[in-house]
Every structure is written in C-alpha cells, then in structure tokens.
Structure 1
Amino acid sequence: MTRLALTFLLASSVAVSPLAAATANNADSQTIEYRKQWHSDVLTGYQNLATQGQALSSQAASYCQAPSPEGLEQTKQAWLEAFLAWQQVRFVDFGPVEQGNRAWQFQFWPDPKNLVARKASYLLKDEAPITPEKVSESGVAVQGFPMAEYLLYDQAFANGEEALPAGRSCKLLVAVTRHIADNGQSLANDWQGFQSNYLGSDQYTDTTIRSAMAGLEILEERRLATPMGLRGNGKRSVYSADAWRSEASLAAMGASVQGLKQSFLPAFSKLLTDRKQPDLAEQIAQQFDEVLANFPELDRPMAPLLADDNGYKLLQSLYIDITQLTSLVNDRAAVELGVVRGFNSSDGD
C-alpha cells in the first residue's frame, strides 16, 4: 500500500497526539516557541509571494500596454518567479489559505480534463467584458498561475489568432495576474492576523507537521511518481505533472523542497532535538540537502527526461531521495512525535 493510500484510511481516525494534549486556552509554553518560528518563517514566505505576485501583475500590465518580444519574455520570467514563490509555501494547507479555496485559486491542479484551456477558450470567445469581477466569478480554474501559464506558454494557443498580445487575451492576463497579486497580499495579511490563534492553540503544532507531511506525500506520489509512470496507468507522461506548459515542473519541485527547508525544518529540527531525537533531526536535515543536491541539474524540462532512459535515471535518483525524505519525516519522525497523518483538503481531489 502506498503512503498516499494509507492517508485515506487514516482520514477518519485522526488521533490527538501528545503534542496536542494541552487545551487551546492553556497552550504549552515550549510548543509556543516552535509555532512562533513557524509563523514567522511562513509569513516571510507569504510576503515573498505577495511581492512576486505584485511584480508579475505590474509586468503583465506593462507588457500589454506596450507589447514586445522582450516584454513577453520578461512577463514569463515574472510569472516563473511568482509561481516558484507559491511553491515554497504550497505545503501550508491550513489557516487563511483554506478560506475561499485560496490554494485552488493560486493553483488549480490536477487538471485532467484540461479545464484551464477550456475556460480560457470560453472567456476569449465570449462577448462579455473581461474584468477583475469576471475573473473573480469564473471559478478557480481561471484565477491562478495555471491560467496565466496557459496564456503565456501554451504552444497551440501561441500559434492561434488569440495569441498574446491580442486584446482580449491581454485583458485576461492582466485581470488574472491582478487576482494573483491581490490574493497573495490578502493571504500574507491574514496570516499575520492569524498569529494569536495559531500561537494560542497547541493543536496547530500537529497541524503544521501534518501539512508538511501532506506536502511531501503529494510531491512524491503525484507530482513525481505519477508522471514517471510509477503510479496510475503506469505510463510516463509529462501531462500528469503540474506546470508542464512552462516546463517548470522540476523547478517547482525544487522550490517546494526549498520552501519546506526554510519555513518548516528549523522549528521542526528544534522540536525533534528537544524530544531527545537529535540524530533523527540531523538525518532529516541532511536528507533535505540530498534532495536539493539534485538541483540545479534538474532545473530543466521534464518531458525529455521522461522520453530518454538516461535522463530518466536522473528522475529516479530524485525520486529515491524524496522517498527517503518522506519516510524520515512521515514515518520515523511522526511516530516519535505521536503525530497521526489525517485527511487534508489539498490532496488534489
């Protein structure tokens, strides 16, 4: 049974661990210190997302006001930087990011029915004006990075009559990137306002650990194993990966691991050390470095690696390293801390 399958069997049996034994009104002073660091580190990540989202929105508007090939490339780069900033905080699946399906607003994925492309086609052919309000009411498939990615990178779209900088396409790009920027800023503000609740309830210690566990499971099972043909129908397919249009699937994985290392690992290592597991804390830190050592070699398109057996070996090496990291965190550390993995809404279903 895969680790992800086990997740669903545990969905109805989430236990209260020793770490969450204190009541919300009597938070343990030691666990508050871990949450203080987590809150601060995640806030830094959210603020970076807000900054990069604003830069993307401004660049998209500038490009559409005065289109040029150079401006298009600058807009693609701004998209990538903002998208990678989202990847770094993507593992956080609780708190303000749950409100209004915010995580799905940032990234509608998986998209097996190619709803992003279908929604884009509908909006571009519709006669209704494309406005921020139209984007807000059109659903999560329209509102985030995949829609902007489609407009900027999709090859079939780029060769069609509606390719950028066509008027309606530019209006959609500007409205979508504005939505991303506003969403990023409101998320950073709301996380800052969430501080007292987060620090005041010991349940959020386990919740934070579970969010990292879920992020690693999704990375291992869905974002890497599935396109490699190790899950699902057993066939290699880049279309099972996220960000395949921009060829940023692997770069996004690297950013997610880097984000976990920056925003989750420091407090987690201290927690393990305080629970008399310093060797395990060191092993996990070293395994994070092992995973990241696969980059920047793997900061390249996934499709050619899937098609070539020698290239595929690079993906296998990455997969082994991520599997080992997931096992250390989700199996060994979770057992030591008494944290039971439960269902979470960001599993992609």
Structure 2
Amino acid sequence: MQSLTKTVGIAALILAPISGMAGSQPETNNNAEQQWHQGILKGYQSLAAEAGDLSAAAADYCSAPEQASRDALEQAWLNAFLAWQRVRYVDFGPVESDNLAWQFQFWPDPKNLIARKASYLLDSEAPVSSEVITESGVAVQGFPMLEYLLYDEALNASNNALPAEKTCGLLRAVAGHIEANGKQLRDQWQAFREHYLATEQYRDTSIRAGMAALEILEDRRLAQPMGLRGNGKRSVYAADAWRSGSSLRTIEATIHGLEQSFLPGLTRLLKESDQPELGPRIENQFKDVLEHFPELHRPMAELLSNDDAFSLLQGFYVDVSQLTTLINDQAAVELGVIRGFNSSDGD
C-alpha cells in the first residue's frame, strides 16, 4: 500500500507541471488577444476622431476658402489618412463588412478609376450628395478621392479646382462618408470584443493580419514602385498616395501601427515559446526600420528619380525585408501559424 501511495505521489509530481503548462497556454493566448483588441481599439478611436476633424475642416474650407483653411484641410486629411494607415493591417472583423477597408482606401488603382469617377461626378448636372457617394462605389468613398481633389495637378489647373462649388460638394460628402465609417468601425470593434476574445481562431487570424500587412508593404508598396517586381522599371504610380507625395509617410504610419498594436501581443506569445529571444530581436528590428525616418519623409518620385536618394530607399527596403523574415518566417513558425494562401493578393 505504501508503495502504491508513493507511486501515485511521484506520478502527481510529474503530471503537475504538464497540467500547469496546458493551462498557461490558453491564458497566454487570451492575454495577447486582449492586448491586440485594446491596441486596435485605440487605433480605431484615433481614426474616428481624426475623421471627424477632417469633415469639419472640409466644411470650414468650403465656407471660407482662404489659404489658412486650405492648409488646415490638407493637414487634417493627412492626419486622418495616417490614422487609417496605423490600423490598415487589420483585415478581419468589422472592417470586412461592406468592403469598409476599400471604402477607406481604394488601392491599387492601375486604371486611374479615381480620376475617372471624379470627372464623371464633377461634370454631371446632378448634385453630389451623401446618397450619391454611397451608391458610387469604393473608388469614390475614401481618402484617395480626397487626395485627388486636393493634389491632382490636372484638376487643380481646371475650372473644377477647389473651391469650385461642385468640387466642394464632393469634398464635403466624401469627408462626411469617411467620418461616418470611422465612427461605425470604432463602435463595431468595441462591440466585437466578447466574440473576439472567446473565439480561439482569432489568435492565428491576428498574427496572419500582421504577416499579410508586411508582405504587402514589402512587395507592393515598396518593391513594385522601386522596380524590384513586375517589369523591373521604377514607377511612382505603383505607390499609394503618390499625388500628395506622402507614400513614405503612410508606410511609416503602418509600421508604427504594427509596432504599437500588433507587436505587444506577439512578443507576449513568443515570451512563453521555445524561442523567447525572438521577441526582443523583432522589437530591435522595428527600431532599425523606423530609424530611416524622418530622412525618408520625401515624395516617392524624388526617391525613385535620384540614385543617391534611391540608395536610402534600398537600405530601408532591406530592413523591412529583414523584419518580414523575422515575423513571417520565424515567429509565425515558432507559434505554429501557417501563412494563408494568397495572403498578399489584396489590400
């Protein structure tokens, strides 16, 4: 009897750590998911607030179209657009409803559909209203349409240049649409919390969102304009936000967004993995990537046309590639996350 008791006791000691480990993984996952949800919520709250300021700035400018109100409008557009870039990587949850991501940013636009849609609306006799914007499709509804109205050279040299009445109507309607979508996304994400935390698959879904964002950033937002993909020719038109010259600022904002709301949850998971050293390595690589700014706060056209400037862009690209490798090929593998099929085939 004593021998049996001793055997049971030894078995209990052996099984105790295993049981403890089994219980700790769900807790670690849940803690990471709580960090992700809260980080993304802060990003959506910022987007909603900046979109509200943008809508107000559009109304102010059209009421009193002076240089000061124009400057304030352009700054408000940039602030709101960068707020979107910081949460742009989130490709699941409420942002999937009604093509919300595409409503905020229609890109890429190889057929220049934004310009064509703007011309149609501005040249038609029908007034521009919120209903017209809702019915006109994603090419009309987001930040790139406002960028076109503010920065397109051909438009600004025409009779439709701001503050033309019809163009101001389009400006205000689109800004109002972005504001409404920003508030909707903020509120829906907050309501999504319980389902997000209770659904096991969102751990891997959240990691894949960061992976896909880095693939898109490296391959399509950098490599393609740089001529490292496709036909091998440098082309500013392959970049997003080329009209305003803010392509690199948007990339910086996306990296900041990943660092602020994606990285904390990822490093928490890695800390409990077999390779806890990966977390600090990834944190340091984020720092290396961001050290290229503010020197890269230049229009993409300038960086592509000047070989000395292009070398700065090449160094940045290498650091982004190393970050992508660390997360997509090492951290994801360590955490058992399989890259989704065609994960970079959309934006």
Normalization by structure 2: what TM-score?
Answer: 0.91
Q: CA deviation at 1:131?
A: 0.4
Distance of 1:42 and 1:325 partners within structure 2: 21
Q: What amino acid is the match of 1:328?
A: L
Given the alignment, which residue of 217, 220, 223 partners 1:222?
220
- Higher RCO structure, 1 or 2 (CA under 8 Å, sep 6+): 1
Q: What amino acid is the match of 1:291?
A: V
State whether structure 2 residue 326 is matched by structure 1 residue 328.
Answer: yes
Distance change >3 Å, CA 345–CA 65, structure 1 → 2: farther
Give matches, 1:1-349, under 5 Å. 28-343=26-341, 347-348=345-346
Distance change >3 Å, CA 97–CA 344, structure 1 → 2: farther
Contact 1:93 1:345 (C-alpha < 8 Å) held by counterparts:
no
Q: What amino acid is the match of 1:247?
A: G
Distance of 1:293 and 1:344 partners within structure 2: 31
Query: 2:7 is matched with which residue?
Result: none
Q: CA deviation at 1:58?
A: 0.3
Aligned-partner SS, 2:189 = helix
Gaps of 5+ in 2: 1-21
Q: CA deviation at 1:191?
A: 0.3
Q: CA deviation at 1:346?
A: 7.2
Distance of 2:339 and 2:208 partners within structure 1: 6
Q: What amino acid is the match of 2:143?
A: F
Distance change >3 Å, CA 343–CA 136, structure 1 → 2: farther
Percent identity between the aligned chains? 60
For the aligned residue pairs, the C-alpha RMSD in angstroms reads 1.3
Q: CA deviation at 1:276?
A: 3.2
Aligned-partner SS, 1:110 = coil
Q: What amino acid is the match of 2:47?
A: L
Distance of 1:336 and 1:217 partners within structure 2: 18
Distance of 1:335 and 1:276 partners within structure 2: 11
Query: 1:6 is matched with which residue?
Result: none
Distance change >3 Å, CA 345–CA 57, structure 1 → 2: farther
Q: CA deviation at 1:343?
A: 3.7
Distance change >3 Å, CA 58–CA 304, structure 1 → 2: same
Q: What amino acid is the match of 1:331?
A: D
Q: What amino acid is the match of 2:210?
A: A
Q: What amino acid is the match of 2:103?
A: Q
Distance change >3 Å, CA 144–CA 344, structure 1 → 2: farther
Distance change >3 Å, CA 278–CA 28, structure 1 → 2: closer
Aligned-partner SS, 2:94 = helix
* Greater radius of gyration (CA): 2
Aligned-partner SS, 2:144 = helix
Normalization by structure 1: what TM-score?
Answer: 0.91
Q: CA deviation at 1:344?
A: 6.6
Q: What amino acid is the match of 1:99?
A: S
Aligned-partner SS, 1:227 = helix
Contact 2:212 2:343 (C-alpha < 8 Å) held by counterparts:
no
Distance of 1:180 and 1:148 partners within structure 2: 10
Distance of 2:66 and 2:345 partners within structure 1: 39
Q: CA deviation at 1:208?
A: 0.2
Contact 1:228 1:306 (C-alpha < 8 Å) held by counterparts:
yes
Q: CA deviation at 1:348?
A: 2.9
Range moving further from structure 2, 157-166 or 276-285: 276-285
Distance of 1:253 and 1:131 partners within structure 2: 32
Q: What is the aligned length?
A: 324
Q: CA deviation at 1:37?
A: 0.8
Aligned-partner SS, 2:140 = helix
Q: What amino acid is the match of 1:299?
A: H
CA offset digits 1:176-217 (Å, max 9, x no partner): 000011101100000000001100011000000000000000
Q: CA deviation at 1:275?
A: 1.2
CA offset digits 1:37-85 (Å, max 9, x no partner): 1000000000000000000000001100111122111111100000000
Aligned-partner SS, 1:243 = coil
Aligned-partner SS, 1:271 = helix
Displaced runs of 4+ in structure 1, greater than 2 A? Answer: 27-30, 343-349
Q: CA deviation at 1:299?
A: 1.1
Distance of 2:124 and 2:344 partners within structure 1: 31
